[in-house]
Amino acid sequence: MGVADEVRAAWGGAALRGLWARAREALEAGERTFRLELPDAQAQRAVGEVYGRPMLGHGTRISVSRLDDAVRGSRFGLGLPEVLEILHGRPVQRGGTTARNEHRERSGGTLRAALERRGLAQAAWAEPWIQWVHQYGRVDDAELARIAERAADVLAHLALAEPPQEWTSRSSLAARTGDAAELDNGTTLSRVVLRAAALAHGVDAPSNERERRALWERCGVTLDAVSATVLCWALPLVGADAWSRGVRQRTALGLPTHLTLLDLRTAPARLVEAGTDIAVCEHPRVLEAAVAEHLAHPVVCVAGFPSTAARMLLRRLVDDGARLHVHCDFDWPGVTIARTLLELRDARPWRMAAADYREALDRAAAQRTDLPNLVGSPVDTPWDPELPVLMSTAARAVEEETVLSVLLADLRKRTEADPPGSARPPKRP
């Protein structure tokens, strides 16, 4: 095997494509440094091994001269221009800004046309996504047209602007537009689609399995029917079937229940009586405290942005006529979650007004409780337009744990009579 073959074998993998593409652009434009995005752990590790220092985070700045020194000091002993010529099959064209711009325009046109055919080209995320794919997407020129069409097909089926009303499995979505495995983790199509989804929802690109799963679910895509769960306590189920009895028995034992999509698909058609009041919180700490005090008021915890299981359960409950009382953190992500939940029928805010936020600030000051800084961009709150103004002025976040005593006091005020079909939590000494 010759040196060129060894270079291609060692450095021609997908994890390093972004490095070599940006290095070529920098050399041809006469730039001394360039910004490199590191979308995953594999890219961080591979670039770090070539560059000679650990790579942390999602991006870094690379020195062209240091990269040249690193590759010259490798076992191949070749300079950066020689390495790029081997990997790309063409020499580096110094001062080739015009050619580079032409290539950018061609790739951008291919991606833009694919989006245009699905009515997506005017979306706010479209142009930033096109720029990202060109610079960091690590898509071979020969594959670009196919990836552009497949990505546009998938994106057209995702919930990118509004909360999803229904869900599909990732394999079914991929199969609808081609290969059922092409959206699996690590594939080129999965990478570019998730980047568009992150831009559309205004969140960071996912860097681990948990974040990828959350982003897929936010777009209405489930990875499977058993891993996404919703945490519940004391649901007053009315059914006499084995499924309902099993959930009620856990309540009787003083245990909460994690329901999966498979659980909910197996559940009886009717869960609760019309008019049932159900508290909905963001953090498991609230539900845990309700369990610890054996409070009989039903609680559903969404544990951050609602999963597919959480959305399905809450929709089932409101279809039965339940009334949801929603509380989340007083920070911008929490307000966003609350807005999503309050779009459900018969959902209402629970201590989420400007007056409640002001009261929490005053209580924290009186108790000398440190509150974290409020970061991010303001989010409108249709239920109380004064809330984001006050939050922006105070610039402090109030987490649910800070107001836990107030929330628990509300839950204690439930009537002593058990709702029909409930299993009252046991009283302990």
Q: Could you tell me if 253 and 393 lie in one domain?
A: yes
Residue 421: band (very low, low, confident or very high) from pLDDT cuts 50, 70, 90: very low
Q: pLDDT > 70: what percent of the chain? A: 94
Q: Could you tell me if 283 and 323 lie in one domain?
A: yes
Please give the residue that has the higher pLDDT: either 47 or 171.
47
Q: Give the model's pLDDT for residue 103.
A: 67
Q: Could you tell me if 396 and 350 lie in one domain?
A: yes
- Average pLDDT of the residues in 278-291: 97
**369 DSSP 8-state letter:** -
Q: pLDDT > 90: what percent of the chain? A: 61
Q: Confirm whether 101 is domain-assigned.
A: yes
Residue 305: band (very low, low, confident or very high) from pLDDT cuts 50, 70, 90: confident
Q: Confirm whether 52 is domain-assigned.
A: yes
Q: Could you tell me if 51 and 117 lie in one domain?
A: no
Q: Could you tell me if 263 and 398 lie in one domain?
A: yes
User: 125-138, pLDDT tens digit by residue?
Assistant: 999 999 888 877 77
Rounded-to-10 torsion of CA 124, 125, 128, 131: -120
Range of the domain at 388: 229-412
Q: Give the model's pLDDT for residue 424.
A: 44
Q: Could you tell me if 111 and 164 lie in one domain?
A: yes
Q: Could you tell me if 262 and 403 lie in one domain?
A: yes
- Average pLDDT of the residues in 55-67: 86
Q: Give the model's pLDDT for residue 411.
A: 95
Of 88, 115, 145, which one is at a domain's C-terminal end? Answer: 88
Of the candidates 103, 187, 100, which has an alpha carbon nearest to the alpha carbon of residue 138? 187
User: 176-207, pLDDT tens digit by residue?
Assistant: 777 778 898 888 999 999 999 999 999 888 88
Burial 124-145 (b: 16+ CB within 10 A, else e): ebbbebbebbbbbbbbeeeebe
Q: Could you tell me if 273 and 393 lie in one domain?
A: yes
Q: Could you tell me if 83 and 153 lie in one domain?
A: no
Q: Note if the pTM is more than 0.75.
A: no
- Residue 19 dihedral angles phi and psi, to the nearest 5°: -60, -50
Number of structural domains found in the chain: 3
Q: Confirm whether 214 is domain-assigned.
A: yes
Q: Give the model's pLDDT for residue 49.
A: 93
Residue 214: band (very low, low, confident or very high) from pLDDT cuts 50, 70, 90: confident
Q: Give the model's pLDDT for residue 308.
A: 86
DSSP 370-396: --PBP-S-----TT-THHHHHHHHH-B
Q: Give the model's pLDDT for residue 419.
A: 39
User: 394-409, pLDDT tens digit by residue?
Assistant: 999 999 999 999 999 9
CA distances from 429 to 216, 298, 408 (A): 45, 22, 19
Q: Could you tell me if 286 and 363 lie in one domain?
A: yes
Q: Give the model's pLDDT for residue 98.
A: 60
Q: Give the model's pLDDT for residue 272.
A: 97
Q: Confirm whether 383 is domain-assigned.
A: yes
Give the CATH number for residue 378: 3.40.1360
- Average pLDDT of the residues in 20-47: 87
Average pLDDT, the chain: 89
Q: Confirm whether 423 is domain-assigned.
A: no
Q: Confirm whether 422 is domain-assigned.
A: no
Q: Confirm whether 280 is domain-assigned.
A: yes
Q: Could you tell me if 43 and 121 lie in one domain?
A: no
Q: Give the Cα separation of 96 and 94 in Å (integer).
A: 5
Residue 415: band (very low, low, confident or very high) from pLDDT cuts 50, 70, 90: very low
Q: Give the model's pLDDT for residue 422.
A: 38
Residue 101: band (very low, low, confident or very high) from pLDDT cuts 50, 70, 90: low
Q: Give the model's pLDDT for residue 96.
A: 53
Query: Among 59-73, 254-268, 332-346, 360-374, where is mean pLDDT lowest?
Result: 59-73
Residue 428: band (very low, low, confident or very high) from pLDDT cuts 50, 70, 90: very low
Of 163, 195, 222, which one is at a domain's C-terminal end? Answer: 222
Q: Give the model's pLDDT for residue 50.
A: 93
Q: Could you tell me if 57 and 104 lie in one domain?
A: no
Both tokens assigned to 323? 């009334």
Q: Confirm whether 316 is domain-assigned.
A: yes
Q: Give the model's pLDDT for residue 324.
A: 97
pLDDT at 265 over 70: yes
Of 206, 222, 238, which one is at a domain's C-terminal end? Answer: 222
How far, rounded to the nearest angstrom, does the alpha carbon of residue 112 sit from its chain's CA centroid? 25
pLDDT at 33 over 90: no
Q: Which residues contact 364 (CB under 8 A, 6 or more apart)?
A: 370, 371, 396, 398, 402
Of the candidates 40, 47, 41, which has an alpha carbon nearest to the alpha carbon of residue 13? 47
Q: Give the Cα separation of 260 and 309 in Å (integer).
A: 6
Residue 283: band (very low, low, confident or very high) from pLDDT cuts 50, 70, 90: very high
pLDDT at 153 over 60: yes
